[in-house]
A = this chain, B = another copy of it.
Amino acid sequence: MEKIKTVSEKPIAVRMHEKDNVLVIASDSGAKTGTILYDGTELVDDVPYGHKVTTTDIAEGAPIIRYGETIGFASEFLPCGSWVNESRTTLPDAISLTEGFPEHKIRKVDSEPLEGYTFEGYRNADGSVGTRNILGISMSVHCVSGIADFVVKRIKNELLPKYPNVDDVVALNHHYGCGVAINAPMATVPIKTLQNIAKNPNFGGEVMVLSLGCEKLRPERLIPEKQSGQPEDIILTMQDPAYEGFQAMVDEMLERAERHLAKLNQRKRETVPVSELVVGMQCGGSDALSGITANPALGFASDLLVRAGATVMFSEVSEVRDGAALLASRAETPEVANALIEQLTWYDEYLKAGGVDRSANTTPGNKQGGLNNIVEKALGSIVKSGSMPIADVVAPGDRVVKRGLNFAATPASDFICGTLQLAAGMNLHIFTTGRGTPYGLAMAPVIKVATNSGLARRWFDLIDLDAGTIVSEGESIESVGWKLFHLMIDVASGKEKVAAEKLGLTNDLVLFNPAPVT
């Protein structure tokens, strides 16, 4: 990506690549007809903030180029200085995943090891490292979630204050476990997800499992193999005839929770290399600046993490679909490229079975924000993966196994992506947003990065980092990338709390269940 050009006084328009025939308007109030941009383009339309303007005449049917790539075709003649809105562009056909796909080539990138960076984390028996010390209360079925909520409230009030080294108690509420086709081919996805969430490093191997008793998802399946203690110490079954009423269940849960809290309380933070970070990246409420500011800065930070030996995941299948060729060429081996194509192909079929295609991804907010279609959105989204080779592809529900940059093949839904990244082992979450979201998770800290300074200013208590300074103050991508890298270390170490943690804002776990309910 070419370095951003700005006009001398005020950076009101930015170009991402020398081949581009559009600029993006970056001044808060947009730009009026007659405005002359730094490259001499004179606007013939009013162009809103984040939207594109042609910098040359574009013939009907000719390509519109951004990020050096074709993001669509002009559906009418667009004279230089025109507003490129959705109605003036047509979507390119989806890249075929089976025919004429470019041959896999390993790219050479600067991946000089980055050494000497550490954070303060909780080292677990299985070698993983937590960034928080949380008692997780999992459940085999949604039936017991009311009881879980009840007990969590009591634990927080009565027990947690006695165990100062434990950060939180969290019910791993979900809607699965019964009333579902548990043996359907795709039921493996939600089940693996729940199994692997229980292994998340932030729970220190001390997850408790609440069970009803008659549910389809047997509670034994949710216990991590390496967890200490026997199943009878971990699973509480409400229908166990031993419990005479609700109060007896609650008493037993509190008693067992206290044993787990006592063990968790012995965990102490210790200095560990940055390579122990497992960072999940995603974006939501994207706008046209996502691909110019926050995502490139995150891409730079992602490269730093990979060079330091950490594990980094990018995701969101329907947002990378149109950059498939680009990504496949970055796969470390042909096997990884094939795994990538396999995941994208499965998703194509999944969408088709539901009567839709990849174009179902973009939101009204994306479009208002200047992203005309999924191709443009995809190119801006992929930028956050930086420039490193893709070491592995993680199927939905699976745990990440290789260090370096991973493609975790999740839906783009913020909640489902976050949930699957938690299952993959994420101990730190980075979320870039242009339109703004209060998104948070109880299980891992979420650093929210604004793509524009207007949002960062307005949502001063919800946003953790302003990457909009890349446009508003001409700050370099590298500088913001380093800021983010250091913020990650501070948050992972517990020295900084993220906005969502301070306010106690959390979203639910949302499982990806491509199988039927019954």
Which residues of A line the B interface, CB within 8 A?
142-147, 149-150, 173, 175, 178-186, 212-216, 218, 238-239, 241, 243-247, 284-285, 318, 350-351, 353-356, 358, 360-361, 363-366, 368-369, 411-417, 435-440, 458-462, 500, 503-508, 510, 512, 514-518
Complex Cα distance, B288 from A276, in Å, reads 53
A395 shortest CB reach to chain B, Å: 16
29 contacts between A and B (CB under 8 A): A142-B415, A144-B438, A145-B507, A146-B438, A146-B439, A150-B505, A175-B415, A175-B508, A175-B510, A178-B413, A181-B351, A181-B354, A185-B355, A186-B354, A212-B285, A212-B365, A212-B437, A216-B364, A239-B365, A239-B436, A245-B458, A246-B462, A350-B516, A353-B516, A356-B518, A358-B518, A360-B518, A361-B518, A411-B517
Complex Cα distance, B243 from A66, in Å, reads 33
Interface contact A354-B516, CB-CB below 8 Å: yes
From B363, B458, B508, A178 is in contact (CB under 8 Å) with: B363
Known A150-B503, A181-B351, A360-B181; judge A246-B438 contact (CB<8 A). yes
Complex Cα distance, B461 from A494, in Å, reads 42
From B214, B216, B363, A215 is in contact (CB under 8 Å) with: B363
Q: Which residue of chain B lies nearest to A147 when distances are taken between CB atoms in the complex?
A: B438
A186 shortest CB reach to chain B, Å: 7
Interface contact B503-A459, CB-CB below 8 Å: no
Interface contact B503-A412, CB-CB below 8 Å: no
From B142, B215, B243, B318, A458 is in contact (CB under 8 Å) with: B243
Complex Cα distance, B249 from A505, in Å, reads 13
Seed contacts A181-B360, A214-B285, A361-B518; 8 additional CB < 8 Å A-B pairs: A142-B415, A178-B413, A179-B415, A186-B354, A239-B285, A246-B461, A350-B516, A412-B518
Interface contact A436-B238, CB-CB below 8 Å: yes
Complex Cα distance, B461 from A247, in Å, reads 8
Interface contact A150-B218, CB-CB below 8 Å: no
Interface contact A146-B178, CB-CB below 8 Å: no
Complex Cα distance, B269 from A293, in Å, reads 57
Neighbouring B residues of A147 by C-beta, 8 Å: 438, 505
Known A246-B462, A461-B247; judge A435-B142 contact (CB<8 A). no
Known A175-B510, A364-B218, A510-B175; judge A411-B245 contact (CB<8 A). no
Q: Which residue of chain B lies nearest to A173 when distances are taken between CB atoms in the complex?
A: B508
Known A146-B500, A246-B462, A504-B150; judge A214-B368 contact (CB<8 A). yes
Known A246-B459, A355-B184; judge A214-B365 contact (CB<8 A). yes
Neighbouring B residues of A438 by C-beta, 8 Å: 143-144, 146-147, 238, 246
Known A178-B413, A214-B369, A360-B184; judge A351-B507 contact (CB<8 A). no
Neighbouring B residues of A514 by C-beta, 8 Å: 354
Neighbouring B residues of A241 by C-beta, 8 Å: 458
Neighbouring B residues of A212 by C-beta, 8 Å: 285, 365, 435-437
A142 shortest CB reach to chain B, Å: 6
Known A238-B438, A246-B461, A516-B350; judge A508-B412 contact (CB<8 A). no
Neighbouring B residues of A245 by C-beta, 8 Å: 458-462
Complex Cα distance, B508 from A350, in Å, reads 27
Q: Could you say which of A144, A360, A365 has the most chain B C-beta atoms within 10 Å of its C-beta?
A: A360
Neighbouring B residues of A247 by C-beta, 8 Å: 461
Complex Cα distance, B246 from A245, in Å, reads 41
A337 shortest CB reach to chain B, Å: 24
A131 shortest CB reach to chain B, Å: 20
Complex Cα distance, B143 from A447, in Å, reads 15
Complex Cα distance, B460 from A84, in Å, reads 67
A496 shortest CB reach to chain B, Å: 18
Neighbouring B residues of A503 by C-beta, 8 Å: 150, 246
